[in-house]
Structure 1
Amino acid sequence: MAQTELLNSGVAVGYYRWRICALLFFATAINYIDRQVLGILAPQLQAELHWSDSHYGLIVTAFQVAYAIGFLFMGKIMDNYGSRRGYAFAVLVWSIAAVVHAGARTAVGFGVARFALGLGEAGNFPAAVKVVAEWFPIKERSLATGIFLSGSSIGAIVAPLVVPVIAIRYGWEWAFVLTGLSGIVWLVFWLATYRPVNVHPKVSAAELAYIQSDPPEPTHDIPWRQLFKYKQTWAFAWAKFLSDPIFSFYFFFLPKFFNSQFGLTLDKIGVPIMIIYVMSDVGSMVGGWLSSFLIRRGWSVARSRKVTMLLAAFTVTPVYFASQTDDLQVAVALIGLALFAHQAWSANLLTLPSDMFPRHAVGSAVGIGSTVGAIGGMFGATTAGFLLESTHAYGPLFVVAGSAYLLAWIILHLLTPELKVSLADKDIIL
């Protein structure tokens, strides 16, 4: 088969890009493991180091604030210095910060380490989405995004299994050290493996042609400040603002929900949480695969992404009944389905910046939108706490969790009826 026929048929020619995707997956898993260590060890640390609940709350807030701030300049770093150096810098910062936790003995010390961790970890998604834009054609990007995004669920599963074992056998300090050093190990593989796609010695001419088979993009820069003028930027940002807090709600409040609703203690909560995150893992890949499949079937990029996201938004809605049932298995199934749909949604939402902006601006666009999403997460966690304190009921929270995606989809569609690649002088409709 001639090369042009291969490109037209969508048949993959070479597979090195999937090795790069595997590195993105492992980086995302490490990212989520590192951020969970403190939460898993919090009861022990509070007892041993005499923290109050307010001290712990401020330590968590330090991470959230830094995470929101970090997205802005980390996205710009990725675009200015390139994926190889930018990603390496982010992983190095968060890995060192993770290890530094082991030397902290006061709330202030942990707060400083947590702030540094948030700054570094903010680089993961701008870098990973940018790498996907550079290494994958449009028809494969949501699948690649879904695969690396599934690393977040794997991290959420692995951390509760590994961290307690390390802490019990070697002390809590080593839980921070060993998980932090895993990022350094990843960094060695990254620097040994990654080169820009157009000069990579292990990418064949046929695979390079396949990766670059989309219409050519302009090479001129889009100033960072100009990104705030585009509706596409705000469409992505508002969708993140409304949907990111929902994942944060599950991430931080599920153990408390299962304890208050079903009486599950720490020694019994592991299996339900694992089932839920396995379902979310599958959702990442199914959501990414579906829109890629529809594009290969001849659908437009806009229609493929939006139909997949709309299906995900509707799939979330039954989660309200998790707060109304007395059956643990039903609650786990409903919440698992909601997280399945959330990850399917996110696989496509994170792909949109690479659809709507040239590759050299993708990191910055992701950074801006993710900052807005992180701010939404901070407000969401605070609001959830006040609602629970005043109502002692999870029903209102699950109503919001079940409806936020439909509202986000409507706003996204109104701002971008057609997905367009934003350029300085024109828009290209996809």
Structure 2
Amino acid sequence: MSETKKIGNYRYRILGLLMFATTINYFDRSIIGVMAPTLEKMFGWTNSDYANIMVSFKIAYALGLLYMGGLIDRLGTKKGYTLSIAIWSIFGMLHALVRPGFSVIGFAAARFGLGFGEAGNFPAAIKTTAEWFPKKDRAFATGLFNAATSIGAIAAPFVVGWIVHEDGKNWQIPFLITGALSAIWVFLWFRMYKKPEVHPKVSKEELAYIQGDSEVENEEKLPWKSVLDKRQTWAFALAKVTDAVWWFYLFWGAKFLATTFDVNIKNIALPFFVIYILADGGSIFGGYLSGALMRKGWTVNKARKITLLICALIILPVSFVAVTENKWIAILLIGLAAAGHQAWSANIFTLVSDVFPKKATASVVGIGGMVGAVAGILADIALGSVLDQAGNSGYFWAFLIAGSCYLIILGLVHLLMPKMVPLDENLVPIKERT
């Protein structure tokens, strides 16, 4: 009786590096949200000042996604990912140089550079996942590295609470930590990463498994503009509008808990831990669920969209957060919504590699991310203005929109892309080829 050969698992080492990079990304991104109530008191910011600093990040993130996606497709994931993390690490550390006399403009400038660099993370990570995993495993792989966003968001309040005093003393130190972490990542990435088809540590069996449900592509580059007229591009971009909701939790969550329930920098860690550990579970389960449905014989189209519908229904109760007077009910509702969002996110990212060839993946992810960033910019401007004029009642509308928008967006995505017909390396629907 012949023994079944082991496939090999080097792809999971690459996935581990994606998780490490995404953890650094979100730790860097989350620090300012955790310290927002303290920094506001130190520097005398209004809600609109804080909103403008967040808008600076998102403008750069939107521009960066538009540029970085195409750049990563041209340079490849190895060089493109390294460039991205180098940019965001430098500007992350530059936050520590900001002085009170120019705090708003200083933080806005540092956030702008941070946003431009961080824009490369998800296009590069999704492209890497498409290169290293078969379609049936991509949502689960994406769910795992996407769960690292919550690891970074969980780490931020614990590190900040441990290092930073309530009066703001030592506030610069958390911004400097990611420099050392990024240097370690770059070393490991250059040492370990090559495409699977040329990697000496990938067995023939593992390569066959990776490429088992994907067509072999040629090396010809696709121009960035070639994906702009595809309905599938804009279906993904529309689904990414929900990024504005995730950023609302990330950047305004600590402020909401501080002004509504008197949560401060020293006791924010436990609420954030609960919220983001639930988000982690949602990311992993959401990625697993659609893959499990596909293994039961469901089509990619049905498995992805039914999973997205479940996510939208799980998120809906967060609409009532602003009317509850119980802190822990509010925290649990936000955590449940964060879990639903991360499950949603794992699946919509995978829509891109389900439909588009690998060589176009980063470009499409970049365009969709840009649309999500613009939605976040508009949300920040509106919320900052409403909170300054109407006080905490503005959070009622923010949570109502955050809870209800996913069902509406899913309906529109289905109208744009009723069937997820994959496109070949020339962006021609495979079923239409002669």
Quote how far apart the aligned CAs of 1:365 are.
0.4
- 1:338 matched to 2:314: no
Q: Name 2:390's counterpart in structure 1.
A: 390
Q: Which of residues 119, 122, 125 is equivalent to 1:125?
A: 122
Tell whether 2:82 aligns with 1:88: yes
Structure 1 vs Structure 2 CA RMSD: 2.5
1:115 to 100, 112, 133: 112
CA separation in 1, counterparts of 2:246 and 2:286?
Answer: 16
CA distance in structure 1 between the aligned counterparts of 2:175 and 2:420, rounded to whole angstroms = 43
Cα distance per residue 1:52-106 (max 9 Å; x no partner) = 7665544333222111100011101110011111101111111122223333433
CA offsets per residue over residues 352-375 of structure 1, 9 Å max, x none?
111111000000000001000000
CA–CA separation in structure 1 for the residues paired with 2:47 and 2:295:
52
Distance in structure 2 (CA, Å) of the matches to 1:46 and 1:257: 13
1:151 and 2:145 equivalent?
A: no
Deviations 1:175-204 (A, max 9, x none): 322222211111111111111111111111
Deviations 1:193-249 (A, max 9, x none): 1111111111111001000101414424432112110000000001112x1111112
**Contact 2:33–2:252 at 8 Å: present in 1 too?**
no
Percentage of pairs with the same residue: 44
Bigger Cα displacement from structure 2, 223-232 vs 321-330: 321-330
Query: Which residues of 2 match residues 156-175 of structure 1 at below 5 A?
Result: 156-167=153-164, 171-175=170-174
1:267 shift after superposition: 3.3
Moved more, 137-146 or 114-123: 114-123
Distance 1:95 1:225, change over 3 A: same
Q: Distance in 2 between matches of 1:307 and 1:81?
A: 36
Moved more, 288-297 or 41-50: 41-50
Paired with 1:362 and 1:2, the residues of 2 have a C-alpha distance of 39
1:64 aligns with 2:39: no
Shift of 1:165: 3.1
Is 1:207 matched up with 2:203?
no
Deviation at 1:43, TM superposition (A): 5.6
TM-score of the pair, normalised by structure 1? 0.91
User: Residues of 1 paired with 2:114 and 2:400: CA distance?
Assistant: 32
* 2:33–2:250 CA contact under 8 A, matched in 1: no
Summarize the alignment of residues 248-259 of structure 1 with structure 2, pairs less than 5 Å apart: 248-259=247-258
Distance 1:309 1:2 in 2: 42
Which residue of structure 1 lines up, in the alignment, with residue 179 of structure 2? 180
- Partner Cα separation in structure 2 for residue 255 and residue 45 of structure 1: 12
CA distance in structure 2 between the aligned counterparts of 1:50 and 1:346, rounded to whole angstroms: 35
The match for 2:315 is 316
1:419 aligns with 2:420: yes
Q: In the TM superposition, what whole-angstrom CA distance separates every residue of 1:285-319 from its partner, at most 9, and x where no partner exists?
A: 00000011111111111111111111101111122
The equivalent of 2:430 in structure 1 is 428
Aligned partners of 2:385 and 2:90: how far apart in 1? 35
Q: Residues of 2 paired with 1:139 and 1:406: CA distance?
A: 25
- Give the whole-Å Cα distance in 1 for the aligned partners of 2:174 and 2:254: 21
Counterpart in the other structure of 1:366 = 365
Q: 1:58 to 1:229 in 2, by over 3 A?
A: same
Give me the TM-score of the superposition, normalised by structure 2. Answer: 0.90
Report the CA distance between 1:400 and its aligned residue.
Answer: 1.1
Counterpart residue number, 1:100: 94
Tell me how far 1:18 sits from its aligned partner: 0.9
SS of the counterpart of 2:430?
Answer: strand
Distance 1:54 1:342, change over 3 A: closer
Q: Which stretch shows the higher mean deviation, 399-408 or 101-110?
A: 101-110
Distance 2:366 2:204 in 1: 32
Which residue identity lines up with residue 139 of structure 2 in the other structure? S
Deviations 1:129-187 (A, max 9, x none): 00000000000000000000011111111011113434459933333222222111111
Please, which runs of 5 or more residues in structure 2 have no aligned partner? none
Q: Which residue of 1 aligns with 2:299?
A: 300
- Which residue in the other structure is 2:194 paired with? 195
Closer, same or farther: CA 186–163 of 1 in aligned 2, 3 Å: farther
Change (3 A) 1:52 1:386: closer
Alignment-derived partner of residue 376 in structure 2: 377
User: In structure 1, the residue corresponding to 2:114 is in which secondary structure?
Assistant: helix
2:70 alignment partner, one of 59, 76, 84: 76
User: 1:375-412 deviations in whole A, cap 9, x for unaligned?
Assistant: 00111122233444437423322221111100111111
Matched, 1:404 2:405: yes
Quickly say closer, same or farther: Cα 1:302–1:250, change in 2 above 3 A.
Answer: same
Secondary structure of the equivalent of 1:350?
Answer: helix
CA–CA distance in structure 2, aligned partners of residues 268 and 326 of structure 1? 18
Cα deviations by residue, 1:253-282 (Å, 9 ceiling, x for unpaired): 222333344343443333122101100010
Amino acid at match of 1:332: I
